[in-house]
């Protein structure tokens, strides 16, 4: 767009859609000076252009979900020692009074000082609180380091939960946990035919067109975090008989790593699907992906709404938040928020203060 102060800020030869919107807004403003003219758009760049032309521009807020509205579905509750011991023995208890969403995770505390605590989940379908199922202490060589990671593994390993959303800051383990569960469910248990891993491509640096090589080679920098996590997990299998490798898993069809562009428009039955960095997707893109899930498929989306590279969404309007909020109260879905960074003390501090 060529700005020209002598002609209401526009070059008459400009033909872009942005310029057309600005021209119409400017014309309305000039024709009705007493009537407020507001340009509403999700495009940050267009709002900047409007500001340069003394036009009022606002973000479209109808589809926004504030982080403060995404209240955690994890609670602490205190019980007397007898109730805790009975719960440990039986494995279930009636759902306590109060409002609970399906798959709310609980930390049940003994109200006696120094008493034990038990991790549990609300099962509204059966009307009970149940202990986390066995086998969550180690999955594909990965051991959970904190309470929230136990919750995440429980949701990831439960075949009855078809949609899992994991929210957490960098280094909280959300991607690593999802990959470990997917490899275990696909390779070790054979519940799913394939684990498909994908993430949106938004450059933190040079765009894909600047990189040399074929398309697959161009995509490698964006998929490298996935490869790094997989290599970390596969290293734990080296002492076992016939340890897998990334190349072997991909050549046998157990593992697929693809950009989201290749996933849209397909039907995907009997697969474990992981969509990483989902906070960079729009609500429409998330709908397009989740609506392609076929029979027998589980889909996991990880996201950190405080780290967004897509200029067309923000911490309130991204598709990840939208999905979490829309699936509240759905028994097939579980949401876990990971609070603690486990990568390193420096990485956690950087996520908190930068």
DSSP codes joined into one string, 83-140: HHHHHHHHSEEEPPSS---TT-EEEEEESSTT--EEEEEEETTTTEEEEPPSS-S-BT
pLDDT for residue 223? 86
Residue written as token pair 């008989």: 241
DSSP 159: T
Is the pLDDT confidence value at 6 over 50?
no
In a domain, 115, yes or no: no
Range with the lowest mean pLDDT among 52-56, 58-62, 226-230, 324-328?
58-62
pLDDT band at 9 (very low <50, low <70, confident <90, very high): very low
175 and 316 share one domain: yes
In a domain, 239, yes or no: yes
In a domain, 281, yes or no: yes
φ, ψ for residue 133 (rounded to 5)?
Answer: -65, 155
Nearest to 140 by CA among 230, 221, 206, 63: 230
Structurally, the chain folds into a number of domains equal to 2
44 and 176 share one domain: no
> Average per-residue pLDDT in the chain?
85
Instruction: For residue range 101-149, list pLDDT tens digits in order.
Output: 999 999 999 988 877 899 999 999 899 999 998 767 889 989 999 999 9
In a domain, 11, yes or no: yes
Is the pLDDT confidence value at 254 over 60?
yes
pLDDT for residue 16? 84
pLDDT for residue 3? 43
In a domain, 106, yes or no: no
In a domain, 112, yes or no: no
pLDDT for residue 66? 63
Nearest to 142 by CA among 133, 132, 150: 150
pLDDT for residue 345? 59
* Residue where one domain finishes, among candidates 39, 58, 77: 58
* Residue where one domain finishes, among candidates 58, 79, 103: 58
The mean pLDDT of 211-227, rounded to a whole number, is 74
CATH code where residue 252 lies: 3.40.50.300
Is the pLDDT confidence value at 273 over 80?
yes
pLDDT for residue 201? 77
* Residue where one domain finishes, among candidates 13, 28, 58: 58
The more confident residue out of 82 and 314 is 82
144 and 272 share one domain: yes
Distance CA 119, CA 131 (A): 6
176 and 310 share one domain: yes
pLDDT band at 89 (very low <50, low <70, confident <90, very high): very high
pLDDT for residue 208? 52
152 and 29 share one domain: no
In a domain, 247, yes or no: yes
Q: The domain containing residue 17 runs over which residues?
A: 5-58
Is the pLDDT confidence value at 7 over 70?
no
pLDDT for residue 205? 42
Share of the chain above pLDDT 70, in %: 83
51 and 145 share one domain: no
pLDDT for residue 69? 61
Instruction: For residue range 299-315, list pLDDT tens digits in order.
Output: 999 999 999 988 888 88
pLDDT for residue 86? 94
φ, ψ for residue 83 (rounded to 5)?
Answer: -65, -40
Is the pLDDT confidence value at 165 over 80?
yes
In a domain, 72, yes or no: no
pLDDT for residue 334? 96
What distance lies between CA 82 and its chain's CA centroid? 39
């Amino acid at each position: 767009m060529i700005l020209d102060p002598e002609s209401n800020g526009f070059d008459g030869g400009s033909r872009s859609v942005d310029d057309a919107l600005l021209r119409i807004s400017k014309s309305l403003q000039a024709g009705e000076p007493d009537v407020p003219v507001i340009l509403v758009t999700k495009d940050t760049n267009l709002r900047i252009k409007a500001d340069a032309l003394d036009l009022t521009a606002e973000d479209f807020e109808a589809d926004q979900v504030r982080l403060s509205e995404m209240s955690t579905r994890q609670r602490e509750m205190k019980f007397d020692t007898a109730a805790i011991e009975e719960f440990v023995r039986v494995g279930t208890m009636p759902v306590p009074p109060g409002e609970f969403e399906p798959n709310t995770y609980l930390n049940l505390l003994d109200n006696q000082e120094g008493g034990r605590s038990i991790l549990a989940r609300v099962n509204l379908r059966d009307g009970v609180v149940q202990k986390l199922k066995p086998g969550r202490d180690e999955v594909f060589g990965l051991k959970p380091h904190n309470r929230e990671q136990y919750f995440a593994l429980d949701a990831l390993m439960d075949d009855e939960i078809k949609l899992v959303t994991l929210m957490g800051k960098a280094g909280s383990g959300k991607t690593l946990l999802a990959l470990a569960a997917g490899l275990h469910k696909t390779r070790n248990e054979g519940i799913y035919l394939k684990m498909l891993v994908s993430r949106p491509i938004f450059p933190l640096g040079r765009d894909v067109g600047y990189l040399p090589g074929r398309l697959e080679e161009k995509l490698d920098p964006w998929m490298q975090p996935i490869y790094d996590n997989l290599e970390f997990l596969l290293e734990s299998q080296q002492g076992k008989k016939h340890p897998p490798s990334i190349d072997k898993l991909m050549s046998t069809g157990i593992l697929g790593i693809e950009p989201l562009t290749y996933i849209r428009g397909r039907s995907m039955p009997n697969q474990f699907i992981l969509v990483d960095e989902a906070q960079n997707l729009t609500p429409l893109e998330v709908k397009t992906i989740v609506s392609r899930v076929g029979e027998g498929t589980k889909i996991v989306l990880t996201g950190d709404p405080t780290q967004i590279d897509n200029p067309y969404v923000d911490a309130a309007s991204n598709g990840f938040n939208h999905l979490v909020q829309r699936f509240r109260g759905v028994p097939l879905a579980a949401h876990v928020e990971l609070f603690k960074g486990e990568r390193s003390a420096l990485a956690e501090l950087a996520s908190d203060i930068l």
